[in-house]
Copies of this chain bind each other. A is one copy, B any other.
């Protein structure tokens, strides 16, 4: 699935701003004249895949509908250290009020896109796709999954309502993996496929015999093989070469390293 609704994507930006602004930016207001103007530019401090420029623009537009960004790189583009990735000009108080929120988003999302690009590069030439998980930051799932797309990955489930995946905890409750799979086959919607996480040869047989469509972990014939677990940049290629169709990587959205990006303002 590779589509994300823009409305949904940016619907929380007002909340993010209110979280930082509270009753207003008292520093700026104690210093500036109301209509002072300024120019600002976002500068990459290291090599990265840029993600979140539209989100950053949305931050400024939420503060002032006139405050658009002029981007010199597109979301998803790889840039070198020192690159000016966007600039904007407008009221100084708007630039200063939006700075931190815009940077927090841009740095976090670029971190995700950059890490995803590395994983995608690591499996280049195999048939494996790199997918994300639901191990996302609460409140940021849609934006983080969008960053994964920008990095060249694919999105796995958007939520618990968006696909059927049977895991160890389900099997434990259902009695056995086979019982869980058979129950799901009987009651699931006809538009869905059934994915099952397996941890042993026995579970593979049990899953396949019960009617699994997608097997999570290790190889088998005729059905999609999807891999998950503590997969690293070092280990990912081995799994891809072993024939995995889809590799789910926790590290894309968990333990994200923020990219180094600065916002430099001057009068204007």
Contacts and interface: CB of A to CB of B under 8 A. Distances in A.
Nearest to A38: B173
Contacts of A265: 169, 172-173
Interface residues of A, number: 92
A8 B24 contact: yes
A51 to B, nearest CB: 14
B140 A92 contact: no
24 contacts: A1-B26, A3-B26, A3-B30, A4-B23, A20-B159, A20-B160, A21-B161, A22-B23, A23-B142, A26-B189, A26-B192, A27-B184, A32-B173, A96-B170, A97-B160, A104-B134, A104-B136, A108-B137, A135-B258, A155-B189, A162-B162, A169-B263, A190-B245, A192-B192
A96 B173 CA distance: 10
Given A3-B29, A164-B26, A265-B172, A214 B189 contact: no
Interface in A30-50: 30-32, 36, 38, 40
Interface in A179-208: 180, 183-184, 186-193, 195
Interface of A: 1-5, 8, 12, 15-16, 19-32, 36, 38, 40, 92, 95-97, 99-101, 103-105, 107-108, 111, 134-142, 155, 157-166, 169-170, 172-175, 180, 183-184, 186-193, 195, 214, 224, 226, 245-246, 254-258, 263-267
A30 B137 contact: no
A164 B15 CA distance: 22
Contact of A1 (B32, B183, B192): B192
Contact of A138 (B8, B24, B140, B191): B140
A19 B189 CA distance: 19
Contact of A160 (B26, B38, B108, B254): B26
A139 B226 CA distance: 32
A158 B255 CA distance: 23
Contacts of A164: 26-27, 30, 191
Nearest to A145: B23
Given A31-B170, A173-B266, A258-B255, A158 B191 contact: no
Contacts of A175: 267
Residue with the greatest number of chain B CB neighbours at <10 A, chosen from A111, A140, A266: A140
